[in-house]
Structure 1
Amino acid sequence: MLDKTLVSPLMSYNYAASFYISTRDVVTATPNIAHLNLNSLSQNATKGTLTSSFSCKKWLLRSTLQIENMISTEEDKKTWQDCREALYAFNFSVEEADKILGKAYGQIHSPYWGEERKKVVPKIDIVKEILDYLRSLSLSDDDLCKVLKKFPEVLGCNLDDEIKTNVQLLEKEWGIKGKSLRNLLLRNPKVLGYNVDCKGDCMAQCTRCWVRF
């Protein structure tokens, strides 16, 4: 029985030696594999970023051309250009300004409006009035740039019935004003456009409902 259970010292040494060699080979090989994988991932990530950036620019250019084709009269083209220039103060390109105005005024489809928004040409005095009011809420031009990127549709909201009413409601009901209001608008500018409150009984206007607040 003893002969069957004991392992000779020589066998133990050979086993240990082979284990040591195998482990060393794996350890030295691993960095090479990791290096190759990281290089591959880095290259793929770079390609993905370039592709995404190219697709975005291509989409913006296509949207600009689409809008220009929709605006027929010279008067409307001049009005659109005036509204574009009002957005240049926030360092938006022509394409970015067109995207913002297009989403705000129905030229580009936006889930925010659903199917209710008709395609119209914005009025420069309305656009300026909304921008001036937003500035009065302690929003800097950098802040407004972020707000317009997150919620371009704000330029298509009614200033008195929606934007001002909602700001007043935020202060009256929740005491949100000043710096707290600024922080809220940077985080969730869509609150400026809420105009329904389903109170849990869905009205199929979720993108504009206070239940999201």
Structure 2
Amino acid sequence: MLTFESTTYCSFSISDVRTYAPKYSQLKLHLEHGVISNSQTDALRFRGLISSPSKKWTICSAAQTQTIVLGDEERKMWESCKQALSTFKFSDKEEDMILGKAFGQVHSPYWGEEREKEVPKVDLVNDILDYLRTLGLSDDDLCKLLKKFPEVLGCSVEDELRTNVRVLEEEWGIKGKSLRNLLLRNPRVLGYNVDCKGDCMAKCTRCWVRF
């Protein structure tokens, strides 16, 4: 088993990687952050160390290994969404992880068990990014927000983002620069969809009681 910093990630040995992966140092970096994409595993597939076909790639976490299986059209959709994130200068592994957490492909405690896996659509991703920009968030701000709360891309613009911003503005009087600062400090408020009034509904990650 391949282990970095006492965390097990994949079912091939480190000696295999040294022997067969010409970009070992780059692969190691991706493994440390939990993502293995097709481009980093080509050498391993060539040697038969990974048998998954081109339609599959593996996202690994400390808890478990998760394999995303996509058809050709779905793969194009995924890559289009990554292109939409390219302006923020994320690494390839960061883009995969952001989209994976936002759309249920990688487990996120934020969603609990409610988030079904789906392949994101680039129009949806762009709509969310465009709306966030209308709130006074620069691309640098969005980069920080997406790193802190990647799940925002999986939220509904109308049912969650706009609704929650309206609550912040109308009920709390938080607007303009104050709203921008709040979203950078606590971006999860954008995805709140529960208000238990103190009577816990076991959905604490999305409850206004945390505000």
Match of 1:169 in 2: 167
* Residue aligning to 1:66: 58
Q: Aligned partners of 2:205, 2:97: CA distance in 1, in Å?
A: 19
Contact 1:63–1:108 under 8 Å retained in 2 = no
Cα distance between partner residues in 2 of 1:161 and 1:62: 31
Q: Does 1:123 find its partner at 2:129?
A: no
Give matches, 1:2-21, under 5 Å.
Answer: none
CA contact (8 A) 1:60 1:95 kept: yes
* Structure 2 Cα separation of the partners of residues 150 and 90 of structure 1: 14
Q: What are the equivalent positions in structure 2 for 1:81-120 lying under 5 Å apart?
A: 81-120=79-118
In 1, the alpha carbon distance for the partners of 2:72 and 2:92 equals: 18
With the length of structure 1 as denominator, give the TM-score of the two structures.
0.72
Displacement of 1:56 in angstroms is: 6.3
Segments of 5+ residues of structure 1 without an aligned counterpart are: 1-47, 49-53
| Displacement of 1:79 | 0.3
> What is the letter of the counterpart of residue 30 of structure 2?
K
SS across alignment from 1:70: strand
Flag the structure with larger Rg.
Answer: 1
Superposition map of 1:139-178 within 5 A: 139-178=137-176
8 A contact 2:81–2:125 mirrored in 1: yes
Tell me the matched-pair count: 162
Distance in 2 of aligned mates of 1:71 and 1:124: 19
Relative to 1, partners in 2 of residues 1:169 and 1:79: Cα closer, same or farther, differing over 3 Å? same
Higher helix residue share: 1
The offset of 1:166, in angstroms, is 0.3
- Structure 2 counterpart of 1:66, one-letter code: T
Q: Structure 1, residues 111-151: CA drift from partner, whole Å, max 9, x if none?
A: 00001111100010000000000011010000000000000
2:35 match: secondary structure: helix
Higher strand share: 2
Cα-Cα RMSD: 2.1
CA distance in 2, matches of 1:56, 1:196: 38
- The whole-number CA distance in structure 1 between the counterparts of 2:34 and 2:112 is 24
CA distance in structure 2 between the aligned counterparts of 1:195 and 1:63, rounded to whole angstroms? 33
Q: CA deviation at 1:93?
A: 1.0
Q: Which runs of 4+ in 1 moved over 4 A?
A: none
RCO higher in 1 or 2 (8 Å CA, sep ≥ 6)? 1
Question: How far apart in 1 are the matches of 2:171 and 2:29?
Answer: 40
Given that residues 197 and 209 in structure 1 are in contact (C-alpha distance below 8 angstroms), is that contact kept between their aligned partners in structure 2? yes
Instruction: State the AA in 1 paired with 2:116.
Output: K
What letter matches 1:141 in structure 2? D
TM-score normalised by length of structure 2: 0.72
3-state DSSP of counterpart to 1:66: strand
Where does residue 182 of structure 2 map in the other structure? 184
Give the alignment partner of residue 209 of structure 1, picking from 198, 207, 210.
Answer: 207
